Amino acid sequence: MPNYKHFINMTDEFAFLQFSQKDDPDPDSGYTLDDNARALMVTLSMEESSYPYACLFTRYLMQSQSKNGSWCNLFQQGQFHHTFDSEDSVGRAFLACSMATTCAWNDIAYCCKGMLQRAIPRLAEFTSPRGIAYSLIGLCKGNFSFLPEKYIYDLINLLAMKLLNLYDSKSSRDWKWFEDHLTYCNGILPQALFAVYAFNGDKRCLKAAHESLGFLNELLFAKGYLNIVGNEGWYQRGGKLPVWDQQPVDAASIIFACWEAYQAIGLSEYLDLAHLGHQWYRGRNIHGLALYNQQTGGCYDALTKQGVNLNQGAEAVLSLLLSDLLIENAIIADLPEVISS
């Protein structure tokens, strides 16, 4: 059962705060589009009482969006700052709004459709692999009945082809990947192609998704538990896999990719790896240390060489909650099969 104590603690009257000092929220750290997009997605899977939070995070996304459809990624000390804007953060916001179009709260769905209408013309220009991937998943899973069906299909094909072209240009016999390095949120790339395959049956996407996620999982689960790519230099092609520091957001990325793969093709190996990856938060990792703080409901910011980073910021707790909710819903979805067998 997900613990929302720190989630509530990190939410003030304006939005979801970015950082905390240990479990104490830091108001001076400001608010980011990334975190509030993730927070909105958490509310979509919570109980009915999460509606006020969904309204708060939707309002923040609306305030962060420019008239040209893009979003600003940081609000700090009373104003928006464009220093950290990126296609990745816009893609996350697009995905969150897309998921919200299918929710039961009509006002939230309506507001998110408005943001999507403003944002969607910009997607065709995206060059960031992760920005493309987040947007693709949103396009495949959202309710876009307010736009011509052909427009959505054509845009999905265009963006999917960008990922496929990257994969074809970089992959080789021993390197089944889209870039010459593995960095953060790697799972989102194969996840997007699995989502496209589930949407339109494109077997080119299935092949690249299956190969690339297999390559990634072989690296990260080699020791029998999830061992995430560390952010100290990342993993360069031909180099050595760095172990430190391991970020909770990257664990969530692998969990969601494996779940998407299982949903798309029903291979039980992917479901098993999603569950194994989820155990990373609770101690099945290189240190044998839990990152989930049961007392606060928070998640430590990183697994470090010395142990854990005791700060419990937004990205960490939201990644934990999204993973907890995914696995909880996956278990519930499997119950009828268990009962019938």
- Cα separation of the two ends of the chain: 25
Domains of the chain: 5-340 (1.50.10.10)
b (16+ CB within 10 A) / e for 203-227 = eebbebbbbbbebbbeebbeeebbb
In the prediction, which pLDDT does 341 show?
28
Token readout for 88 is: 């990745």
Residue 173 to residues 177, 194, 211, 212, 215, Cα–Cα distance (Å): 10, 21, 10, 11, 11
In the prediction, which pLDDT does 334 show?
62
The pTM for the full model equals 0.95
The DSSP bridge partners found for residue 202 are none
What is the radius of gyration, based on Cα positions, of the chain?
19
Kindly compute the dihedral angle of the four CA atoms of residues 94, 131, 222, 243, in this order, to the nearest 10 degrees. -110
In the prediction, which pLDDT does 48 show?
74
- Closest to 138 measured CA to CA, from 223, 70, 195: 195
In the prediction, which pLDDT does 338 show?
34
Residue 155 to residues 31, 71, 114, 128, 229, Cα–Cα distance (Å): 31, 20, 18, 16, 31
In the prediction, which pLDDT does 47 show?
78
Kindly compute the dihedral angle of the four CA atoms of residues 26, 29, 30, 36, in this order, to the nearest 10 degrees. -80
Residues of the chain with pLDDT under 50: 335-341
